[in-house]
């Protein structure tokens, strides 16, 4: 199949870096990932489930409900930095961001 179409998208640099790290760990190029998604949509005539707004909403609604139940049950230190904690956990799991 001849490749003639070009996609140009905008996304946050950090999101691009993290996504590229995940793809690299699996030996997949960005072009391969996007091509596979388009092949799936062509074959199934539908979007992958993870792109469906309905499935995203139900997952997040469930998470929000759980968080509301436990909100206030855990006390964090005054100087606790949530963004730093998330970055440290991500870096420990996937390696430091470039």
In tens, the pLDDT along 38-82 reads 999 999 999 888 787 665 567 778 888 888 888 777 777 889 888
| CB-facing half-sphere around the CA of 44: CA atoms within 13 A | 10
Task: State the DSSP string of 32-57.
Answer: HHHHHHHHHHHHHSS--GGG-HHHHH
Contact 94, 26 (CB under 8 A): no
Contact 18, 95 (CB under 8 A): no
Domain 13-72 top-level CATH class:
mainly alpha
**How much is the pTM?**
0.52
Q: Would you give the distance in Å from CA 65 to the centre of its chain?
A: 21
Spatial distance between the Cα atoms of 30 and 81, rounded to a whole number of angstroms: 32
Q: What is the domain partition of the chain in residue ranges?
A: 13-72
């Amino acid at each position: 199949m001849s490749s003639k179409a070009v996609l140009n998208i905008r996304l946050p640099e950090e999101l691009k870096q993290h996504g590229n790290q995940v793809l690299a760990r699996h030996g997949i190029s960005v072009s391969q990932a996007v091509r596979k998604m388009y092949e799936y949509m062509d074959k199934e005539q539908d979007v992958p489930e993870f792109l469906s707004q309905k499935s995203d909403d139900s997952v997040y609604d469930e998470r929000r409900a759980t968080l509301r139940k436990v909100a206030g049950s855990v006390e964090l230190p005054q100087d606790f930095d949530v963004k730093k904690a998330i970055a440290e956990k991500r870096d420990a799991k996937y390696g430091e961001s470039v």
